[in-house]
């Protein structure tokens, strides 16, 4: 995708207006999280007995998410490390799950405890058994329960992600004062949502090419990916429902979470991204209330900076005193 969303001199092309915030945004999320926490319990953790790794230990973790429903996660930690450790919690991109523990070795290899959270209904280990009965016309998750914020899929998934932070605090491997949330695409949007909902309850956020930011603009400009599900829905099934659809989705928009986030954050954006157009990412970055920085990749697509992103993460964490063995 060439510079069809933002030209090279993009600062002048940023959206002039943020999406309208739902009047009940704070009440909606306060009550949602209160109810979820009331239904939850302590996480369960067991070693992965047949792991072939010799320098890292892996654990299967199950914790209570939305409505107390079990959510799967992997915990990967350096063997024989002194605990508790600075911890990275990773949320997964659209359509994926936690996969195999062997898929997630970077942060633990750098000395961190690493909690990798499955995505309900997208991964294979966490079902989405919510019997809301809401129509679901288009493949994917963007329109699942779009008739009401209370029934929408992302209410459940974002709740799971906040509860992952609660669960991490109960694990002996984790330093509760040095938890960082991270993810790319959908995972980046989820990290941003958690940053907004837990405030200074985390030490940092790493949202890469985040999805679910300025959702309406995403639907208007993305040429690939999940935003096109909304276009299909509004074109074929609900041509008169645009205002209602975007009012529902406003409860899950990263721009609104960004306004409430106070932890330091490092964003990234690919300026040729056809899935999460850079103007949507920059809208969330501009709104972010905490200390922030961004890595913009001029020729990056939805992969952003690719492998260079991991290097930027580790450097940023080290500079903030969040590297293993250092204290902030």
- Given 57, 104, 185, 279, which residue is catalytic? 185
CA distance 227 to 221: 9
Give me the catalytic one of 104, 130, 302, 313.
302
Q: Residues 67, 36: contact at Cβ < 8 Å?
A: yes
Q: Is 286 a catalytic residue?
A: no
List Cα–Cα distances, 226 to 88, 185, 186, 241, 303, in angstroms. 26, 10, 9, 18, 15
Whether 232 is catalytic: no
Please name the residue that has the structure tokens 């964490």: 317
Torsion of CA 286, 291, 297, 303, to 10 degrees: -90
Alpha carbon distance 204, 191 (integer Å): 10
> CB–CB of 132/149 below 8 Å?
no
User: Which residues have CB under 8 Å from 64's CB, separation 6+?
Assistant: 36, 39, 40, 41, 43, 70, 71, 163, 167
CB count within 10 Å of CB 57 equals 20
> Of the listed 214, 273, 279, 313, which one is catalytic?
273
Nearest-angstrom CA–CA distance, 251 and 260: 13
Annotated active-site residue 51? The verdict is no
Q: Which H or E run includes 38?
A: helix 25-39
Closest CA to 189 of 237, 249, 138: 249
Cα-based torsion angle of the residue sequence 90, 175, 154, 229 in order, rounded to the nearest 10 degrees: -20
Residues designated catalytic: 185, 273, 302
């Amino acid at each position: 995708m060439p510079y069809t969303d933002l030209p090279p001199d993009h600062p002048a092309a940023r959206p002039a207006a943020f999406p309208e915030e739902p009047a009940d945004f704070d009440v909606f999320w306060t009550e949602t999280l209160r109810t979820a926490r009331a239904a939850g319990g302590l996480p369960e953790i067991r070693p992965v007995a047949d792991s072939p790794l010799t320098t890292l230990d892996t654990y299967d973790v199950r914790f209570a998410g939305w409505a107390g429903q079990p959510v799967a996660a992997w915990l990967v930690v350096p063997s024989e490390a002194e605990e508790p450790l600075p911890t990275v919690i990773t949320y997964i991109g659209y359509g994926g799950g936690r996969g195999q523990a062997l898929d997630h070795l970077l942060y633990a290899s750098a000395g961190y405890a690493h909690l990798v959270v499955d995505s309900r209904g997208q991964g294979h280990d966490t079902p989405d058994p919510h019997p809301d009965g809401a129509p679901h016309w288009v493949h994917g998750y963007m329109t699942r329960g779009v008739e009401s914020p209370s029934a929408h899929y992302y209410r459940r998934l974002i709740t799971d992600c906040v509860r992952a932070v609660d669960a991490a605090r109960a694990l002996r491997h984790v330093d509760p004062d040095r938890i960082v949330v991270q993810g790319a695409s959908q995972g980046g949007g989820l990290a941003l949502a958690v940053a907004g909902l837990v405030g200074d309850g985390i030490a940092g956020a790493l949202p890469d090419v985040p999805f679910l930011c300025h959702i309406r603009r995403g639907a208007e400009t993305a040429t690939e990916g999940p935003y096109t599900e909304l276009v299909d829905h509004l074109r074929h099934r609900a041509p008169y429902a645009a205002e209602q659809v975007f009012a529902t989705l406003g409860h899950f928009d990263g721009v609104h979470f960004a306004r409430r986030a106070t932890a330091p954050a490092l964003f990234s954006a690919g300026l040729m991204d056809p899935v999460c157009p850079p103007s949507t990412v920059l809208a969330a970055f501009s709104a972010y209330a905490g200390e922030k920085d961004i890595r913009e990749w001029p020729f990056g697509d939805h992969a952003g900076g690719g492998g260079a992103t991991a290097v930027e993460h580790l450097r940023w964490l080290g500079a903030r005193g969040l590297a293993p063995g250092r204290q902030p």
